[in-house]
Chains A and B, each alone.
Chain A
Amino acid sequence: MAQGICVFAENYHGKLEPAAAELVTAAQLIRETTGEDISAVVMAKDCDAIVDELTCLGVNKIYVVKTEKDILLQDDAGSQILADMLKVIEPSSVLIPATPVGRSLFSRVAMKLECGLTADCTELLVGTREDGSYYIKQNKPSFGENVFVTIVTKEGCYPQMMTVRPGVYTMPEMQEASAEVIYMNDIKVPDSQIEVLEVLPSEDETDSILSAEVVVVGGRGAVENDNFELVKQFADKIGAAIGGTRPMVDSELIPFDHQIGQTGYTIRPRICISLGVSGAIQHTEGLKDTKLFVAINTDEHAAIYNVADYGMVADLREVLENYLAL
């Protein structure tokens, strides 16, 4: 009988990822209802620091497979190890950080165990079936963030596996070290077809507005009163590419190919900060799928607030000057 909540202790360079620690909090909330034990699975070359940190987070058991090299990018081998571990642990649920590593490894695990995997949950709730057994209601956004859906793993399918969006749960409070640590030395580390050749520091590439992850979009308000110099400093500070609506292009502050809207191009940055943009639809149609969209405008009726996540009715000069002083 599947029992227990299991957390995937994703790690990088020998340290536990904060996103994994947050999942212990999510597991504790589930435990309040189900009373299940919480375990963590660790798969790494340098396990000691990770295990030490986990023991203080309030998990009951820590299952460890020590590998000769870091294996998180070798998802062919890594997923086999994880599947073997879960077969022994037999948890009722597995919580995984919704990260590239998490979804890549556990997609394969899900296929091996034929158990399903729900992606990018932002809320986990416990439901109770008629027979008194528990299940997890996995809430996740869909179609951007326009709607949310509740997904459940069908009855009898175990473990219930889900990736959880980083930042949704807070880190658990540190406790006295208490967890039982189990080294699973019988589990074999298979060969991988994937090899890490080199790790280099990444450079920020914000040349192309089309591929930029962070974008600052200036409208007419960014052209007035020499505000553009401030906008530029702000963009530099947050590592953003600068786009703009036609007033900025017409004032020759930015090149034509950084114009947002009315050109047919759509940009899809993760973060967009719009400064003094009124929000005509041609501009917002040129901008889609943002995860964070903050609009600053002096006009409290600006249409941009219909598409932004957060709005600030303020003089952009005042906000930016303060930001640069932070």
Chain B
Amino acid sequence: MFEKRKVGKVMEKKKIGIIGGGISGTCLGYHLSLYDNAEVVVFEKDTVGGASTAKSAGTVCLFDDSLRNRYWDVRLYGFESYLKMEAEEKGSAGFDKTGTLVVATNEAVEATIKTGIALTKAAGYTGEYITDKDRIKEILPDISTENILGAGYTQDDGFFDGTMISNTYAKKMQKNGGTLKTGVKVTEIKVDNNKVTGLKTSEGEDYEFDYVVDCTGPWSKFTGEMVGMDVPIWHTKAEAFFLSPPGKKLDYTFPVLKYPEFYGLRAGDNIFICKSHLSMDLNNPMHAGQWDPDKLPATGGTDDYFIDFLLEQLEMKVPGIVDSGLVSSWLSYRAEPKDFLPLLGETPMEGYMLATGYGGNGVIEAPAASRDLAKLIMRGESTPLLEDWAFKRLLG
């Protein structure tokens, strides 16, 4: 018989406190919980995946304009993580496989779509660039094919449910020994000699941590203030409408529909339409600013200009649904640094980490970003993605 012998020294436990139980916090919590020596606690002031994550459309498309092709691996890792989650337990990622139609309105967009399709095919999925306008109309009968060059189409993707995914990650993390605290607000982050040492909560609890990670998205400015740090997050408005198509029932599967200006997807028998991420101008006060996400209503809150914008867009691009009934609307804040890329990893304060600023792409980007950030926290090893999305790029 062999005697079991310890090989090397027992790895030191690392204690990590995560602020925010949205897609960012739960996904990071899960990826950290995969390491034996991680002790993770996620603090959520309300409910898991209940704030801006719940307002995410959850589109993780194989090719669209949400994320540059440079970050193809990020996109694919996210997509496949959720496919696996869904395969493990049906509904746990809320996958609705409607396919995606990305419309090319100019040559630059066309080139991006074509690159995306090539990458998609290389990963073993289907994808095609269609110029036959009748075929495009077969996929989406309500579309206008005037003034478009063509459209990229795949049947293999669709949209997920960010709230379900966050809850699934939270459960998986708990199974691995991580702790979830809901209804608990972090009230103070403890700092000693420019190093984070722990935090205090609204329940009066006092925690010691080696690392505290800000996963609070639109709240990051306020979270940063607790350690005296100016986290350069702006808010852009994601305004959305639920439309009830004229005639009430669509007799086709409405795909995820992407234009540079807006996107749409099905929501039951209704259609969800939202202004797109990249159509935002950070210098336009109607589009962007720094607001208090706690004041955001659960529904409503859209501005009048959005009506004119959408009417004009739909009349031109999807005239078949322009006379839809407006069921409801909502407004969400996307957390954006000025260059529209996330803030990930170390900060000037030792032990204080960021996983924020996903800018409406949290559902797409969180898996790859969390995978890499967990490695950095647990092993001290950086990755090209972490270098790209590091806070220090904005510190000049």
Task: Tell me the count of chain B residues lying within 8 A, CB to CB, of chain A.
Answer: 31
Would you call A256 and B167 a contact (CB within 8 A)? Answer: no
Kindly identify, within residues 249 to 282 of chain A, every residue whose CB is under 8 Å from any CB belonging to chain B: 249-250, 256-257, 259, 262-266, 278-282
Within 8 A of A (CB), among B116-150: none
Choose among A220, A246, A265, A280 the residue that contacts B328 (Cβ–Cβ < 8 A). A265
Select which of A264, A266, A279, A280 is within 8 A of B267 by beta carbon. A264
List B residues 202-242 near A (Cβ within 8 Å). 241-242
Residue tally, chain A, CB below 8 Å to B: 22
CB of A256 within 8 A of CB of B50, answer no
Report yes or no: B91 in contact with A280, Cβ–Cβ below 8 A. Answer: no
- A250 and B268: CB pair below 8 A? no
The interface residues of chain B lying within 8 Å CB-to-CB of A263 are: 242, 267-270, 327
Main secondary structure of the interface of A (DSSP, over half): helix
Q: How far is the CA of A138 from the CA of B377 in the complex (A)?
A: 58
B328 touches A266 (CB 8 A): yes
Q: Is A18 an interface residue (CB 8 A)?
A: no
Least Cβ–Cβ distance between A185 and chain B, in angstroms? 57
- CA distance in complex: A282, B182 (Å): 18
With a CB–CB cut-off of 8 A, which chain A residues contact B272?
Answer: 264
Chain B min CB distance to A43 (Å): 44
Query: Digit string of B22-64 for contact with A (CB within 8 Å is 1, else 0)?
Result: 0000000000000000000000001111110010000000000
Instruction: Report yes or no: B163 in contact with A285, Cβ–Cβ below 8 A.
Output: no
Interface centre among A249, A256, A263 (most CB of B within 10 A): A263
* A246-B161 contact, Cβ under 8 Å, with A263-B242, A280-B50, A285-B299: yes
- CB contacts (< 8 Å) of A264 on chain B: these are 241-242, 244, 267, 270, 272, 327-328
Complex interface residues of chain B between 261 and 279 (CB less than 8 A to chain A)? 267-270, 272
Question: Given the complex, which residues of B lie within 8 Å of A259, measured CB to CB?
Answer: 268
| Bound complex: CA A208 to CA B49 (Å) | 30
A150 at the interface (CB under 8 A from B): no
| A250 in contact with B91 (CB, 8 Å) | yes
Interface contact B47-A303, CB-CB below 8 Å: yes
* Residues on the B chain within 8 Å of A279, using CB: 47
In the bound complex, what is the Cα–Cα distance between A319 and B299 (angstroms)? 34
Chain A residues contacting B182 (CB-CB under 8 Å) are 301, 303, 306
Beta-carbon nearest neighbor of A245 in chain B? B91
Q: For A285, list chain B residues within 8 Å (CB).
A: 54, 298-299
Q: A187-229 vs B: 1/0 string, CB under 8 Å?
A: 0000000000000000000000000000000001000000000
- The smallest C-beta distance from A263 to any residue of chain B, in angstroms, reads 4
Taking a contact as CB atoms under 8 Å apart, the answer to whether B327 and A265 are in contact is yes
**Residues of the A chain whose Cβ atoms lie less than 8 Å from the Cβ of B164:** 278, 280
* Minimum C-beta distance from B169 to chain A (A): 13
Q: In the bound complex, how far is the Cα of B50 from the Cα of A279, in angstroms?
A: 9
Query: Which of chain A's residues has its CB closest to B163's CB?
Result: A280
Residues of A267-326 contacting chain B, CB below 8 A: 278-282, 285, 301, 303, 306
Interface residue B94 (Cβ < 8 Å from any Cβ of A): yes
* Among B49, B94, B249: residue with most chain A CB under 10 A: B94
Given contacts A246-B94, A263-B267, A264-B242, contact A282 B327 (CB under 8 A): no
In chain A between 49 and 96, which residues have their CB closer than 8 angstroms to a CB of chain B? none
Q: Are A249 and B49 in contact (CB under 8 A)?
A: no
Nearest A residue to B53 by beta-carbon distance? A281
Tell me how far the C-beta of B221 lies from the nearest C-beta in chain A, rounded to whole angstroms: 23
Q: Which one of B47, B180, B298 has the highest number of Cβ atoms from chain A below 10 Å of its Cβ?
A: B47
Instruction: Establish whether residues B91 and A282, one from each chain, have CB atoms under 8 Å apart when the complex forms.
Output: no
Q: Does B348 sit at the interface, judged by CB under 8 A? A: no
> Chain A residues with Cβ under 8 A from B328's Cβ?
264-266
Query: Which residues of chain B are near A172, meaning CB under 8 Å?
Result: none
By a CB distance below 8 angstroms, the chain B residues around A265 are 242, 270, 327-328
Q: With A262-B268, A263-B270, A264-B267 known to touch, is A303 a contact of B48 (CB < 8 Å)?
A: yes
A247 contacts the other chain (CB 8 A): yes
With most chain B CB atoms within 10 A of its CB, the pick from A220, A256, A262, A265 is: A262
| A256 adjacent to B269 (CB under 8 Å) | yes
Answer whether A281 and B54 are a contact pair too, CB < 8 Å, given A220-B91, A256-B269, A263-B267. Answer: yes
Given contacts A220-B91, A263-B327, A264-B328, are A282 and B54 in contact (CB under 8 A)? yes
Q: B301 an interface residue at 8 Å Cβ cutoff?
A: no
B246 touches A (CB below 8 Å)? no
Interface centre among A259, A264, A285, A301 (most CB of B within 10 A): A264
A189 to chain B minimum Cβ distance, whole angstroms, is: 48
Bound complex: CA of A278 vs CA of B94, how far in Å?
13
- Whether the pair B267, A262 counts as a contact (CB closer than 8 A) is yes
Q: Mark B369-393, 1 if CB is under 8 A from A, else 0.
A: 0000000000000000000000000
Q: Is B268 within 8 A of A306, CB to CB? A: no
Cα–Cα, bound, A220→B161 (Å)? 14
Task: Assess whether B163 is in contact with A282, with CB atoms less than 8 Å apart.
Answer: yes
A280: nearest chain-B partner, CB-CB? B163
- B172 to A: closest C-beta gap in Å: 14
> Do B47 and A281 have beta carbons less than 8 Å apart?
yes
Complex Cα gap A246–B58 (Å): 14
Chain A residue at minimal CB-CB distance from B299 = A285
A203 to chain B, nearest CB (A): 25
User: CB-nearest residue of chain A relative to B164?
Assistant: A280
Interface members, chain B 166-181 (any A CB < 8 Å): 167, 180
Query: With contacts A249-B268, A263-B267, A264-B270 known, is A280 near B299, CB below 8 A?
Result: no
Nearest chain B CB to A251 CB, angstrom units: 9
Given the complex, which residues of B lie within 8 Å of A306, measured CB to CB?
46-47, 182-183
A246 touches B298 (CB 8 A): no
Q: Which residue of A lies closest to B240 (CB)?
A: A264
- A residues less than 8 Å from B47 (CB atoms): 279, 281, 303, 306
Structural contact, A278 and B167, CB atoms closer than 8 A:
yes
Q: Besides A249-B268, A266-B328, A278-B164, 14 other CB < 8 A contacts?
A: A246-B96, A247-B90, A247-B91, A256-B268, A259-B268, A262-B161, A262-B267, A263-B267, A264-B241, A265-B327, A280-B164, A281-B50, A285-B299, A303-B48
Minimum-distance CB pairs A-B, first 7: A264-B242, A264-B327, A263-B268, A280-B163, A264-B328, A281-B54, A281-B50
A-B contact pairs, 15 of them (CB 8 A): A246-B161, A249-B268, A257-B268, A262-B161, A262-B268, A263-B268, A265-B242, A279-B47, A280-B54, A280-B161, A281-B298, A285-B299, A301-B180, A303-B48, A306-B46
B residues at A contact (CB < 8 Å): 46-51, 54, 90-91, 94, 96, 161, 163-164, 167, 180, 182-183, 241-242, 244, 249, 267-270, 272, 298-299, 327-328
